[in-house]
Amino acid sequence: MKIDLITIFPGILEGPFKESMIKRAVEQGLVEINLVDLRSYTRDRHRQVDDTPYGGGYGMILKPEPLFAAVEHLKAESGSTYSRVVLLTPQGRKFDQKAAREISDINHIILICGRYEGVDERVRMALVDDEISIGDYVLTGGELAAAVLVDAVVRLLPGFLAEEASAKESFSEALLEHPHYTRPPVFRGMEVPAVLLSGNHGAINGWRRQQSLKRTYERRPDLLEKADLLPEDKTYLDAIKKQQL
């Protein structure tokens, strides 16, 4: 997969992809991440990427010419038959695990990080295929949103997660994670649940599944509606509900 990120502040995006697991994915060749400085696609002396809004008002708008030039060049350069152009904006569709999975199937994505009051409407009309918001809050620009999207998408690429972990994820991703413990067995009087020390993998998996169900029920009951529940899951949830009445 190739990901181009178009931004007027490449410095914001230099850190996140140079650490830890995303760095490893880049080194392994699972993904190529390319930071593109929008200013390098300007043709005027002042290298102007933004301008005041027609009709007046507050703030600056990203101009269409450099964005069209950048996207057209990046598409041609990729040689890919299909490139998805995604604008990060609070007006976009809400990003979630399903959107991450869908985007992880595309070979070439071009992310446009919006800035200031927005981008010229003709960019939306004729250049952008998809608009994404990472949540109902307003950031100063799309860069951090793009970093979130890239992180969530790259960890889904085949070969990124150990096979066992990815299989587990597809089964239980609609639920919240069960609690985790590591050494020591007792810390400040708080004990690790005995089942986790038992060596009985059947019992451990059963306990984890029930803890996931319980946590999801307590914190995000909305997620249970979409989850693939087994008959024993439903029995367990019914039991918790009764206890709490």
Interacting residue ranges for ligand ADE, rule: CB under 6 A: 88-90, 114, 133-135, 137-139, 141-142, 145
Dihedral (C-alpha) 76, 78, 80, 82: value to the nearest 10 degrees? -70
Strands 108-113 and 2-7: parallel
- Shortest distance, position 134 Cβ to ligand ADE, whole Å: 4
Angle, helices 231-244 vs 201-219, to 10°: value is 50
Which residues make beta-bridge pairs with 174?
Answer: none
- Shortest distance, position 15 Cβ to ligand ADE, whole Å: 18
Nearer to ligand ADE, 54 or 137 (CB): 137
Q: How far is CA 131 from the centre of its chain?
A: 13
* Residue nearest ligand ADE, Cβ-based: 145
Task: Report the alpha-carbon distance of residue 127 to residue 198 in Å, rounded.
Answer: 58
Task: Report the alpha-carbon distance of residue 164 to residue 161 in Å, rounded.
Answer: 8
- Shortest distance, position 86 Cβ to ligand ADE, whole Å: 10
Nearer to ligand ADE, 62 or 237 (CB): 62
Q: Which two tokens stand for residue 231?
A: 């008959």
Nearer to ligand ADE, 8 or 237 (CB): 8
- Shortest distance, position 132 Cβ to ligand ADE, whole Å: 6
- Shortest distance, position 48 Cβ to ligand ADE, whole Å: 21
Q: Where are the beta strands (DSSP E) in the chain?
A: 2-7, 32-37, 50-51, 61-62, 84-94, 108-113, 118-119, 130-133, 186-187, 190-191
Nearer to ligand ADE, 53 or 90 (CB): 90
Which residues make beta-bridge pairs with 37?
Answer: 7
- Shortest distance, position 123 Cβ to ligand ADE, whole Å: 14
- Shortest distance, position 68 Cβ to ligand ADE, whole Å: 20
- Give whole-number Cα distances, 18 to 6, 48, 55, 142, 191, in Å: 17, 29, 42, 19, 38
Nearer to ligand ADE, 132 or 154 (CB): 132
Nearer to ligand ADE, 95 or 217 (CB): 95
Residue in the block written with tokens 């152009």: 85
